[in-house]
Structure 1
């Protein structure tokens, strides 16, 4: 069946069940226009919030808590980094953004500003969208250091730099199956990004078609006019957050008596002073040619002798739009790898893919600072922060160069890990080492990730889930939502036996605690992240496992063995005094918070009243829903992070078969019918059937068609 005519630059937006738009146009500007129009219909107020935030106007509309962010974005905006780097963007990418802006603004012109945000909403500009692109590229870089960047002041200044908090990082599960691991000998991909559920960091599902040029379906982060995770007719791909560090710190040696001057190779240099005004606050901030000065009240203090500079490999990276367009146009694993090498613009993510020949791919071909292991040994500064910190007083400790790197100062693709298999590859946010345990990846620089170290419980349950299965689309769907909990599988029985034998256990404060009710709850709990009456005990286990992570506790009976990294460590050591104290302390925490130890998961994990199944990654859960434990007095539990867009796709020679779930729905607007429709579907472990071909789209029972002339 042929697509409807789009002659003369017209755009057709066809929506299928659950509000998924399929945009058809004859050029990039046209598909951008259709996507911008559809997104405005669903999420105009969220885009308005993104725009005012990136325009450094957040505190004006949302209160003084936004001043630090305003100073950060105003500094970026007055630097001209976005405008300066647009020269490296293709015409197709510029047209796509131009169309997206036109479509969004057309919707506002036809329907007016939404009442909920009419005070701050306005038509958007191309620069607004490119600022969003830049923000996404820098998510694991300067974006995560905002307060520490705008609070960095010379010694004696009245501003106190905050400590850097530990927020949930972007994460994900990604599995790519080759023909040896599928029942039909096809390629299959499971994409399961774990992102913030905050409105501004959600995914939006859509399908973009330019006949003969582009045909891609999947989801992209709000405000981006493209598919980040998805498939075309021959290739499916997903991303996971990489362990590669995308930033480094330089430890500056300051000139005695002048804390805004520093020494390199014995020669003094003055810092660059920048006056920034935003949110009613004016502040002088400092930088060097490598990046801005950063400060916290712990390891990164600016003293009379030392300061620190943050260098972000994704600063100025707008080429990500061309990178994702190139991925969308690739129709095989070799074409995908070539696209990654040619552009080398992915920020902070691994790529997992499979194609219709049953070839599976893993690659961490992205933007990584050129820091070799030899350089780290020569130049490492002893700063306990968990990031690469280099000696800024020596020019030979700056980033190096590779001839095959697309951007100077980055590792070239030939140094970055990649693997092609006929069985399977996967990543669950550990390093590339065990992308396939039968073919461990080694030899890459340590800034990319470690080798021979303990894998997370989520990685171990993911690898066990793959096993030697011959997957079909339905068994892949079932595996995704089975809600296995590895620590419970390995230790619930032992813990129950322990607490039955010891109905009173000593807490960390020395007081005896009656643990019988908690013990009974765990005995009755089946050990999964499912909701319902059988979930009583699930939240208690989560909270208990969290407390076993304290120093001095020996959780596992069998320690990690690098010769058996998939199956070790294992066996919860219920006899360990630290484990027993954690159990008693968990009972105390529930009592202090007024929460029953057998509270069902339904009461803890809800989205707009809908129970949400799943559990935390540190428990050894694949389907991640990151509600923390133990509970705290007066604390209201909300879902901050976790499973968001889920895609299971089979790439057959006759075309793709796909199932998906966008757990929080297409719209962040509570009044929209697409705000909770997929949450209710997810709660019942039901999926949305993907519709990709013209025949599938035209036969959808809920089809609506809107033409933009």
Structure 2
């Protein structure tokens, strides 16, 4: 059952609603009543440069600019955060969560329960660093005021975006909405990804859920997460001119509320930061200032643990801890629902909680249940941390900010500064579960996921003296590495951040070591190695801003580099291959196409899609001639060797029948549908009508994309929905930062905006935007527009 609730396995993140937090609803917050002023200047592609004299004014300008470009997305997302989607769109329709969409009813029940828990009110009542600082509060209040100012000035009926123009569900936002959005961001792969399991706990607690066949097989090793990212932080020893350099390549959704918005925020003498900011958040998450640049990738660390509860015999909602019975907490949540006839009716749902957190509607039997303990359940510290990072002048100051707030919710941090120090850290929030405790308390046959014994208090999370709060690891336990050459990450664990200095010795909940790395990680490390040796054909060794850009967008396909020679040998030996159904298929033309292919995923790479379909077949389940479907067997010629992690596994075991059937099946699909074997990425994949280059991470592509489904009989994938999103290459020179960016899906989600697809077209052509950061650069833009808000 749990696989229904926890989707898109990518990296271990967290979950929500501790029983102690289920109290009264947070009081609505409103924007501060003070006066705000800000200037919004827009340069190429509509990129806003916002300046103000204080944080309130800065938020005011940012909220106004963001509303100009993306008000409809935010208006819809606010309905989600308020638990009001069923009232407007019906209970069965799917929510607008681009990471983990669920039914509106499940979404509403979950978010109403967050409101009713009182967690937000309590966090906002705490002083910094546990609760938001004064500058962040002013920024949020100003953001709300600016957003609402634009809505008031324009009017719902005159909004430029037809997606929400004139809709009765569009209205002003509140500070509570922005804080709830931040809280939800912290729970992105935890409570937020268990919405259905939390919302349906009442039915399971009353015996309405199905008995699982094998509970341990229902629980995934990793829970849902953002798709991931790439990052290079390059130190002085790896650059031609001795400057620090950074590549940011986050892979977030291309639709909905988890898109990045490009923005430049300035308070003279206080803050001057430029970069990518997730929708509805008034701080820059990935960016740079004059002397420091940083980015994030999704961490492999755990954000939560599951606890298996031992139920009192005959009492389905009472569990035992240290031999003593504890009744589960009950929470009644009422959601307003519009039925098919338009009638509005209340629907009340019961949720169950435990001392660990919410009890989930999965694997709930007469004997046991599963509860979720979330390390990020009440975490807003990351917002202040990002604000402090934006003001830091070097890596040392960034580290101090992270040690102060200890709030990064689910990401690694990679950074560099003008002095050329490259830095990696998993400074994220991680449950304090030592290897010894995990071994002693783990229940089930498999080491993952981390399901602990909830019947004994000896399995509660521990604490560190340097941790900001009990239950999480402190900075001393975190994997960190500072170098003068480079650090990298592509969502693998910390182990091979720099292969010259492997990171080891950290608790296993941070990730494993000496295990096989995925192809995207391997190609990224190989790209760095070739650039430092000069073996990539881009000139003399060492990074420049130009070679950093060209390296990042080279469209290499590592699976083809590792396997194509062996496939050619198979083609010579077997010009006719057997498909999975037993059919004989002539593959000579296909083999010739793959031999002539440039091995890249450029718009015009002829054969790239044929390779993808072959490789996807190779990695999927196989149907034998007798009709039995079997899981894929290992087809690598040389298996993984922990002593050679960068070069193994490799080669294609052409004696494996699955290799033949995979190619034969791909060719049969192309010929049956009269598709050219030379089908290119530019022909097969689009975003809003714009051809998109790139290939998948499974194939070993670095700046990868992901489409919304399989190749159609017409030779087209559904639109790209995830992948390289806000790409940023920065060189921190003594004269200031030199930066190139591209926002792959463009600045505005509004179809009527001139900036709806302009950067998408630029990305399609392989172009970048030369950033304007200094006053002189901004003023030099010949078509500069300025909006002064008072």
Same fold by TM (over 0.5)?
Answer: yes
Partner Cα separation in structure 2 for residue 100 and residue 389 of structure 1: 41
Deviations 1:279-299 (A, max 9, x none): 433211101122111133xxx
Deviations 1:127-156 (A, max 9, x none): 000011011111111111111221233366
| CA drift at 1:498 | 1.5
Alignment check: 8 A CA contact 1:200 1:222 kept: yes
Residue 692 (1) aligns with residue 735 (2) = no
The separation in 2 between residues aligned to 1:461 and 1:575, in whole angstroms, is 26
Residues of 1 paired with 2:709 and 2:110: CA distance? 32
Please, which runs of 5 or more residues in structure 2 have no aligned partner? 1-34, 94-103, 126-130, 213-217, 338-346, 533-540, 621-630
Which residue of structure 1 lines up, in the alignment, with residue 681 of structure 2? Answer: 601
Distance of 1:447 and 1:34 partners within structure 2: 41
What is the rounded CA distance, in whole Å, between the counterparts of 1:392 and 1:190 in structure 2?
A: 43
Deviation of 1:176 (Å) = 0.2
1:506 correspondence with 2:578: yes
Match of 2:524 in 1: 462
SS in 1 for 2:506: coil
1:457-536 correspondence to structure 2 within 5 Å: 457-467=519-529, 468=532, 469-532=541-604, 535-536=605-606
Which piece of structure 1 moves more, 579-588 or 683-692?
579-588
CA contact (8 A) 2:685 2:717 kept: no
1:83 and 2:121 are equivalent in the alignment: yes
Comparing 361-370 with 556-565, greater Cα deviation is found at 556-565
Write the deviation string for residues 444-477 of structure 1: whole angstroms up to 9, x where unpaired: 0000000101111111110010112400000001
* Per-residue deviation, residues 5-61 of structure 1 (Å, max 9, x unmatched): xxx852111111101111100111011000000000000000101100111011233
Question: 8 Å contact 1:178–1:421 — kept in the other structure?
Answer: yes
> Are 2:694 and 1:617 equivalent residues in the alignment?
no
* CA–CA distance in structure 2, aligned partners of residues 514 and 144 of structure 1: 46
Distance 1:284 1:597, change over 3 A: farther
> TM-score, normalised on structure 2?
0.85
Q: Is the 8 A contact 2:209 2:364 kept in 1?
A: no
Correspondence for 2:19: none
Q: TM-score, normalised by structure 1?
A: 0.95
Identify the match of residue 48 of structure 1 among 67, 75, 82: 75
Shift of 1:595: 5.0
Native 8 Å contact 1:494 1:574 kept in 2: yes
Which residue of the partner structure matches residue 153 of structure 2?
110
Match of 1:179 among 218, 236, 248: 236
- Is 2:718 the partner of 1:652? no
Question: For each residue in 1:612-645, what CA deviation from the matched residue of structure 2 results, as whole angstroms up to 9, or x when unmatched?
Answer: 1111111111111112775356885111210000
1:69 alignment counterpart: 107
CA spacing shift, 1:156–1:28, aligned 2, 3 Å: closer
Distance 1:38 1:671 in 2: 16
CA distance in 2, matches of 1:399, 1:589: 52
Please say if residues 151 and 160 of structure 1, whose CA atoms lie closer than 8 Å, have aligned partners that are also in contact: no
Q: Deviations over 1:256-283 (max 9, x none)?
A: 0011000011000000011112243321
In structure 1, what is the Cα distance between the partners aligned to 2:684 and 2:273?
37
Indicate the residue corresponding to 1:408 in structure 2: 470
Q: Does the alignment pair 1:33 with 2:60?
A: yes
1:263 to 289, 312, 320: 320
Deviation at 1:602, TM superposition (A): 1.6
Relative to structure 1, the CA distance from residue 698 to residue 413 in structure 2 (aligned partners, 3 Å threshold; closer, same or farther) is same
Q: Say whether residues 1:539 and 2:582 are aligned partners.
A: no
> Do the aligned partners of residues 572 and 203 (structure 1) sit closer, same or farther apart at CA in structure 2, a change above 3 Å counting?
same
In the alignment, which residue of structure 2 is the partner of 1:565?
645
> Quick check: 1:154–1:259 contact (8 Å CA) kept in 2?
no
> Following TM superposition, by how much is the alpha carbon of 1:211 offset from its aligned partner in structure 2, in angstroms?
1.0
Q: What are the equivalent positions in structure 2 for 1:363-402 lying under 5 Å apart?
A: 363-382=425-444, 386-402=448-464
Aligned partners of 2:736, 2:278: CA distance in 1, in Å? 26
**Aligned partners of 2:163 and 2:750 also within 8 Å:** no
Cα distance change on mapping 1:628 and 1:284 into 2, 3 Å:
closer
1:406-426 CA-to-partner distances (Å, cap 9, x unmatched) read: 121001110011110000000
Unaligned runs of 5+ in 1: 1-7
Contact 2:519 2:697 in 1 (8 A): yes
Please name the residue that 2:3 is paired with. Answer: none
Q: Report the secondary structure of 1:309's partner residue.
A: strand
| SS of match in other structure, 1:116 | coil
Shifted more, 153-162 versus 240-249: the winner is: 153-162
Q: Is residue 702 from structure 1 mapped to residue 788 from structure 2 by the alignment? A: no
Match of 1:326 among 377, 388, 396: 388
- Residue equivalent to 2:141: 98
1:336 matched to 2:398: yes
Corresponding residue for residue 3 of structure 1: none
The verdict on how the C-alpha distance between 1:70 and 1:597 changes in structure 2, with shifts beyond 3 A counting, is: farther
Q: Structure 1 stretch 319-328 or stretch 79-88: which is displaced more?
A: 79-88
Write out per-residue CA displacement over residues 517-539 of structure 1, whole angstroms, 9 at most, x where no aligned residue.
4323312321111012xx23212
2:48 aligned partner: 21
Q: Structure 1 residues 384 and 53 mapped into 2: Cα distance closer, same or farther (>3 Å)?
A: farther
Shift of 1:161: 9.8
- Does residue 133 of the first structure (1) align with residue 165 of the second (2)? no
Q: Give the conservation status (yes or no) of the 8 Å contact 2:205–2:352.
A: no
The verdict on how the C-alpha distance between 1:592 and 1:316 changes in structure 2, with shifts beyond 3 A counting, is farther
Question: Does the residue aligned with 2:393 lie in a helix, a strand or coil?
Answer: coil
Q: How many residues align?
A: 696
For residue 159 of structure 1, report the CA deviation from its aligned partner: 5.3
Matches within 5 A, 1:434-473: 434-467=496-529, 468=532, 469-473=541-545
Alignment correspondent of 2:745: 664
CA contact (8 A) 2:233 2:487 kept: yes
